[in-house]
Amino acid sequence: MLIDEDLQLLKTYPQPSLDALAKYYESDDYISHSNSKKTIFEKVYSFVRNFTIKKKLKLVEFCSPEKGLVLDIGAGTGDFLAAAKANHWKTYGIEPNEKAKGISKGKGLCIAEDTAGFDDNFFDIITMWHVLEHVPNLEEKIAELKRIIKPTGTILIAVPNFKSFDAKYYGKYWAAYDVPRHLWHFSKNAVHELFSKQQLKVVDIKPMLFDSFYVSLLSEKYKNKKVNIFKAFYIGLRSNLYGRKNKEFSSHIYLIKNK
């Protein structure tokens, strides 16, 4: 990996070409593009996803109580958008993967190819739940978010944090590196600086407490070739306890607004 010392941003190197990148999402192991619940990881992921969707929706409604237009970029199988739609939001999604897109459309959701067709200052809320790390043209994407968010709107960005305890503990085996699908690896400083360049500011940061446990479970498998639930729970718990002290959790949600 390459490191930008000024931004405190890690870059996967070498990065796959745009044409080659898509094949890394075709794996049956890529859970966010599937509703499967066969393996222990899929069952844990499904349980956590259902719980966190409620938390995400609560946060979205805190940011915009009037329930306007929400765009979820990287919508996956559409679970978050389906919950938002059921709660009277007008929903749109972006999802490039054909399999996941098909599942989303089967739930009656409006899924577009990209954001180019949306007017300026269009959305009240834009969400990217663990998606920004996948974006090839990072600064162009942030500029596009700036274009389509309303002046009073909120952008919610969730990304892993390579400065967390679980990241340092597992090192190269840390599952949230997820190379080469994850092209960028963020610190809090990197998010602040990248969005500041587009006249956007981070107004709050929320921890994603469940991420440390799930990521530790995957990391145990990568490191030791077996599932160790108890060890993963211990490391996940330690990560959250350290996060309470130093504010460096396994993943963060950034609330971002216009300056």
Q: What is the pLDDT of residues 32-60, one digit of tens each?
A: 545 555 566 566 666 777 888 999 999 99
Angle at 135 between CA 3 and CA 103, to 5 degrees: 145
- Which residue do the tokens 């162009």 mark? 140
Provide the 8-state DSSP code for 16.
Answer: P
Q: Which amino acid is at 150?
A: K
What pLDDT is recorded for position 97?
A: 87
Q: How many residues does the chain have?
A: 259
Q: Which fold has domain 2-258?
A: Rossmann fold (3.40.50)
Give the strand pairing for 9-11 and 90-94.
unpaired
**Beta-strand runs (E) in 132-230:** 149-160, 184-185, 200-207
Q: Residue 246: pLDDT band by 50, 70, 90 thresholds?
A: very high
**Boundaries of every domain in the chain:** 2-258
- Cβ contacts of 10 within 8 Å, gap of 6 or more: 1, 2, 3, 4, 162, 184, 185
What pLDDT is recorded for position 16?
A: 85
Could you read off the pLDDT of 101-150 as tens digits, one per residue? 999 999 999 999 899 999 999 999 999 999 999 999 999 999 999 999 99
